Amino acid sequence: MPDVTKTVAAVEDAVAPPSAAQPAPAKNKDKARSLWGDAWQDLRRNPYFLVSSVLIFILLVITAFPSLFTSASPTVGDLVHHFNGKPELGKVGSEGWLGYDGQGRSVYARLIYGTRASVIVGICVTLIVTVIGSIMGMIAGYFGGVVDAVLSRITDIFFGIPFLLGAMVVLQSFTERTVWVVVFALAFLGWTQITRVMRGAVITIKQADYVHAAKALGAGTGRILLRHIMPNAMAPVIVVATIALGGYISAEATLSYLGLGLSSPTISWGVDISAGVNQIRVAQHILLYPSIMLSLTVLAFIMLGEAVRNALDPKLR
């Protein structure tokens, strides 16, 4: 007669679910990622993002701690070195590594300290236009109707003003053009593109089911805008703002070159480029090095914006 206990145990093992006999799969192994998670995974493998991030990090460190890179003064010179453009070989990072300008000031020191003005202008203008443009775009896109019509016409008026020409007119109103005056002049006309991008994104997102569900549950307008619409509409805005940042740095240099932006004693790449043009035949190095730094900075932010755009756009991925 067979053993009843052994028979029951064999039947239980046969009908037991696979999970009882096999180890449970690792948790979160195939967990679905959000748009930002997918974008981050894509960015980590993008060489453009890695190169631009390194360049931007170096620029930010130079902006915050210029004294780490040079001990020379960017404003004090010695006429003994008047227009001396011969580099001091074997002394990379020294005072005369990149030569001197007409007043005997170190070109390298002015290059390092000029980073601060250019980067601060670009970052501050980008932050201001992003905040203003996002608020106006959300209000216009969400409420629609008369509110949208009024805000859109105001945006069209500002959008029709040439950016650099309008900034020149604004700057002419100030006798002293400091960094913050230039920031105000550029931000005064630079918010229109962000507004249009945000408005289009909000018009699309407000039709989503989760927005209608939030309204049905009694969520207020502020909560819907801040908790549901804004986080999902910021992706295209971040892309446009990142690319535009390099453009604002270039615009500041252009205005300073024309004599309508920053001026001495403020140290800026645009100011040095303007001074170098007058001496291009006898001292090309004064114009060359600030131009290279300006080009690398603008290129870094454009590369970062392109990498972010490719990562956040599902069609491109």
Question: pLDDT per residue over 75-103, tens digit each?
Answer: 876 666 666 655 554 455 556 678 788 77
Q: How far apart are CA 80 and CA 77, in angstroms?
A: 9
**Confidence at residue 262, expressed as pLDDT on a 0 to 100 scale:** 85
- Would you tell me the crossing angle of helices 230-257 and 192-205 to the nearest 10 degrees? 170
Measure the CA angle with vertex 197, ends 191 and 200; round to 5°. Answer: 135
**Confidence at residue 120, expressed as pLDDT on a 0 to 100 scale:** 93
Give residue-wise pLDDT tens across range 148-186: 999 999 999 999 999 989 999 999 888 888 899 999 999
Bond prior to 265 in cis (omega within 30° of 0):
yes
Identify which has the larger pLDDT, 48 or 83: 48
Give residue-wise pLDDT tens across range 191-242: 999 999 999 999 999 888 888 888 888 888 888 888 888 888 888 899 899 9
Q: How far apart are CA 180 and CA 50, in angstroms?
A: 31
**Confidence at residue 73, expressed as pLDDT on a 0 to 100 scale:** 82
Identify which has the larger pLDDT, 161 or 10: 161
Asked if residue 7 has pLDDT above 70, the reply is no
**Confidence at residue 103, expressed as pLDDT on a 0 to 100 scale:** 79
Q: Which of 28-37, 160-169, 278-287 has the lowest mean pLDDT?
A: 28-37
- Predicted TM-score (pTM) of the model is 0.80
Identify which has the larger pLDDT, 298 or 12: 298
| % the chain with pLDDT above 70 | 81
Identify which has the larger pLDDT, 254 or 24: 254
**Confidence at residue 29, expressed as pLDDT on a 0 to 100 scale:** 44
Is residue 49 within 8 Å of 43, Cβ to Cβ? yes
Is residue 239 within 8 Å of 308, Cβ to Cβ? yes
**Tokens 């005072």 belong to residue:** 95
Q: Is 205 helix (H, G, I), strand (E, B) or coil?
A: helix
Please report which confidence band the pLDDT of residue 297 belongs to, taking 50, 70 and 90 as the band edges: very high
**Confidence at residue 305, expressed as pLDDT on a 0 to 100 scale:** 87
**Confidence at residue 102, expressed as pLDDT on a 0 to 100 scale:** 76
**Confidence at residue 90, expressed as pLDDT on a 0 to 100 scale:** 42
Please report which confidence band the pLDDT of residue 314 belongs to, taking 50, 70 and 90 as the band edges: low
Count Cβ neighbours within 10 Å for each residue of 286-313 and write b for 16 or more, e otherwise. bbbbbeebbeebbebbbbbbbbbbbbbe
Q: How far apart are CA 262 and CA 56, in angstroms?
A: 22
Q: What phi, psi does 100 have (nearest 5°)?
A: -130, 160
What element of type H or E holds 53? helix 47-64
Asked if residue 15 has pLDDT above 90, the reply is no
**Confidence at residue 25, expressed as pLDDT on a 0 to 100 scale:** 47
Q: Which of 48-52, 91-95, 271-275 has the lowest mean pLDDT?
A: 91-95
Please report which confidence band the pLDDT of residue 280 belongs to, taking 50, 70 and 90 as the band edges: confident
User: Which CATH number describes the domain made up of 40-312?
Assistant: 1.10.3720.10
